[in-house]
Amino acid sequence: MAPRAAAGKWTLVQPSILPGFGLTFGFTTFFLSALVLIPLAALVSMAASSHWVDFVHTVFSQRALASYRLSFGASAVAASINLVFGFILAWTLVRYDFPGRKVIDALIDLPFALPTAVSGIALTTVFAENGWLGRYLELAGIKVAYTWIGVTIALTLIGMPFMVRTVQPALAEVQSELEEAAEILGAGRFYVFRRIILPIVLPAMLTGFALAFARAVGEYGSVIFIAGNLPFKTEITPVLIVIRLEEYDYHGAAALGCVMLTISFLGLWAINHLQSWRRGRFAATGR
């Protein structure tokens, strides 16, 4: 959407009778440069200024690899749990009416609003050996706190609103006429679900999955309490970055930071593509 240049003359902005472009453009540029561009440049240059052997050594050390495995593994499991339960939640909230529906609907956003340190210590207390839920899981032989399961539970909580809030509007858009038509033509409920509802909602579910996953990979506050942070076992990558920083190993921290940043960029890219795919599909159905 670059502005049309008049007769080949380069212009920054398309003419408009509205004032204030210079002021707001300048301010936005200044703010974004100072707060985002320069710090990111510092991260990349710090990582690039270390010798490549050191870089590889840091990024592919056994401890770092173990932390990626936990961070990405637990995030994938958590996002998958949300894929199922987030869909059920969205379905319940869109399709059914029951007492307390509005309160539940508002509560979905709680993990957004609740400081992560609070959800971290609260989850740890609930799922500790003597906690409200932890003691029953303990009887069943499942240890949650200070294991990868605890990490997964914290990440599930953090990702849940992303899935529900993405799937909800998509489910609300499923036209009842389509379902009725299918039903009249003799389709069973399951068939209607599989062939009509699921295809409409699937792109939203994938977007929700990507959003929940991306958020979970970087999560710090709610995980560190329930994880126990044992190297090689329950240490997520963000914790490893903090440890490197506390050792004043700026280059190591920057190298790991770059790995995570690259993955965040890939995530953003994937989410943008999923969203334009969704828009394309809805445009095709005339909505």
Which one, 56 or 104, has the nearer CB to another protein? 104
Sign of CA dihedral 118, 155, 86, 210: positive
Look at residues 36, 33, 35, 42 and name the one whose alpha carbon lies nearest to residue 257. Answer: 42
Rounded to whole angstroms, how far apart are CA atoms 210 and 221?
A: 20
CB hemisphere CA count around 257 (13 angstroms) = 21
CB of 144 to another protein, least distance (A): 11
Structure tokens at 157: 């909580």
CB of 68 to another protein, least distance (A): 13
Angle, CA 267 vertex, CA 261 and CA 268 arms, to 5°:
90
Which one, 66 or 216, has the nearer CB to another protein? 216
CB of 234 to another protein, least distance (A): 16
**DSSP state, residue 196:** I
Which one, 31 or 277, has the nearer CB to another protein? 31
Q: Which residues contact 279 (CB under 8 A, 6 or more apart)?
A: none
CB of 11 to another protein, least distance (A): 8
**H-helix segments, 116-229:** 116-127, 134-139, 148-172, 176-184, 189-192, 198-218, 221-227
Q: How far is CA 171 from CA 80, 160, 214, in A?
A: 19, 16, 23
CB of 163 to another protein, least distance (A): 12
Which one, 131 or 208, has the nearer CB to another protein? 131
Which one, 69 or 264, has the nearer CB to another protein? 264
Which one, 3 or 199, has the nearer CB to another protein? 3
CB of 26 to another protein, least distance (A): 9
Q: Are 261 and 59 in contact (CB under 8 A)?
A: no
Which one, 65 or 175, has the nearer CB to another protein? 175
Q: Are 110 and 89 in contact (CB under 8 A)?
A: no
Tokens 């440069």 correspond to: 33
CB of 239 to another protein, least distance (A): 8
